[in-house]
């Protein structure tokens, strides 16, 4: 049984959030943020339009203060811990969480999630 899809080493996330293309879509579809020793991962889709990716450039998932996840399109802000939009046009909506596990300092997309997202 495999561990799922490898995303990165935990140490890589210590430098900032990262986007990933785990399903070979040709663009980042999942991103992960390390905060207070925990990894939070979401699909890279803003709930405002439902088909817009968040960052204005690769890996630019946080606001300037690095306190919230930000959508560059219309400035929506989301909590890192649960993906809740706390400011912007989709206030009250959530980013879609992606379950990840950490094994031996490596971050993995869990197998069940990988299977559900496979196209
Ligand atoms: S598409 Fe993200 S805030 Fe509008």
**Structure confidence at residue 112 as a pLDDT band (50, 70, 90):** low
What separation in Å is there between the alpha carbon of 73 and the centre of ligand 1? 5
Q: Which residue, by CA, sits nearest to atom 4 of ligand 1? A: 74
Residue with tokens 């943020």: 33
CATH homologous superfamily of 5-117 equals Rieske [2Fe-2S] iron-sulphur domain (2.102.10.10)
Distance CA 10, CA 73 (A): 29
Residue 74 backbone class (left: φ over 0; alpha: ψ -120 to 50; beta: rest): alpha
Residue ranges per structural domain of the chain? 5-117
**What is the percentage of the chain residues whose pLDDT exceeds 70?**
90
For ligand 1, is residue 99 a contact (CB within 6 Å)? no
Quick count: other Cβ atoms within 10 Å of Cβ 6?
Answer: 14
**Structure confidence at residue 118 as a pLDDT band (50, 70, 90):** very low
117 is written with which tokens? 């997202």
What separation in Å is there between the alpha carbon of 47 and the centre of ligand 1? 7
**Structure confidence at residue 31 as a pLDDT band (50, 70, 90):** very high
CA distances from 57 to 29, 66, 91, 104 (A): 14, 15, 23, 30
Average pLDDT score over residue span 1-15: 89
**Structure confidence at residue 119 as a pLDDT band (50, 70, 90):** very low
């Amino acid at each position: 049984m495999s561990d799922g899809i490898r995303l990165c080493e935990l140490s890589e996330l210590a430098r900032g959030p990262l986007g990933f293309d785990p399903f070979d879509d040709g663009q980042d579809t999942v991103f992960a943020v390390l905060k207070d020793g925990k990894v939070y991962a979401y699909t890279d889709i803003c709930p405002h339009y439902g088909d817009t990716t968040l960052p204005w450039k690769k890996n630019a998932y946080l606001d300037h203060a690095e306190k919230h996840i930000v959508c560059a399109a219309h400035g929506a802000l989301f909590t890192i811990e649960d993906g809740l939009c706390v400011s912007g046009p989709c206030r009250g909506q959530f980013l879609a969480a992606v379950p990840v596990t950490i094994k031996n300092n490596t971050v993995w997309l869990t197998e069940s999630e990988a299977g559900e997202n496979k196209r």
